[in-house]
Amino acid sequence: MKVKSNLKNFPDYFYDIESKKVYNITLSKVVLPSNPSSKTLRWKMKNSKTGWAFFSEKTLLPFYKEYIQSPIFETPCVSVIIPKTNTRKEKRLVFGVGVNDYQDTVVPEGKILRSYSVWLDMLRRSYCNKRQEEKPYLKGNTVCTEWLTFSCFKTWYDERYFTDCQIDKDLKVKGNKHYSPENCTLIPRSLNLLYRSVNSEKFRHIIESPRGFTVKLKLDSKTYTVGTYNIFQDAVHARDLSKSILYKNYLSSLKGCYGKEVDNLLDKLTNELEETLLANLKYETLVKNLYVKKLLKDDFM
């Protein structure tokens, strides 16, 4: 039988029915005493919503402003009203599409989960109008249905995670704008920077000055000056040839370090670089950087 309490106007604390002892709350959470005389405690919130709760020993209880009626326990004279612990999370979609179904906190010990941060940024890049206005090249990005649920993305991400990795969607499938397990790979940050999108590939790494067109390539914190040319097209050929051999040499240094998926991607990228090398090999005499010339000589001896 449901019986209402005759206790009224309690401040923010817990009341043990059997022992009639009071337990203060801290930061909207309470830890039950190690040896409580009763596991049945009473709470009252500032919004005047009161209720009964049935706890196991040393349980942590977060407070919420919304409550639902729960079945009556067999404990005499105890009616139970419990917090809706997951309701808010389930109702509030992330960027209008994502569902954070993770049962634990995504900010353990004050530091956000790496997988959640990546998932959040992926949704932001795909479904946040403000971000797409700031960066128009993000328009058209989509996320597969499976990854709209955080737990599904977290499983995929955690199985492949390595230090300093980033998610990439368009190296495996060129021009791809759809995030999915089939299209995406976790790659080293340095590789992602190497292949990041630019507005104009035609002028990338080429600096115009009164002296002519200077080709400078940056790779792994190092800068390689390939040469300065009077004709722009000569600079383009020298850049493409030098970049191909430098990148190919760098990709080979990454093989075997990050797992099979990354190795398969490296093989694909290496094959593309070899095609560019062969197409531009006739311009070998344009390359003036000694290190790049040595790489070319070693590769085609």
Average pLDDT per 10 consecutive residues for the chain, totaling 301 residues: 35 47 42 42 38 36 31 30 41 87 88 95 95 92 96 96 94 93 95 70 79 90 91 92 93 93 95 91 90 86 54
> Which pLDDT score, from 0 to 100, does residue 65 have?
28
Per-domain residue ranges of the chain: 1-85, 90-188, 201-299
pTM above 0.75, yes or no: no
pLDDT for residue 193: 86
Q: What is the pLDDT of residue 219?
A: 85
* Measured distance CA(72)–CA(26) in Å, rounded: 28
pLDDT at 108: 87
| CB of 14 closer than 8 Å to CB of 52 | no
**pLDDT score recorded for residue 203:** 64
pLDDT at 251: 94
Dist. CA 49–CA 68, nearest whole Å: 11
Please report the pLDDT score of residue 196 as a whole number.
Answer: 75
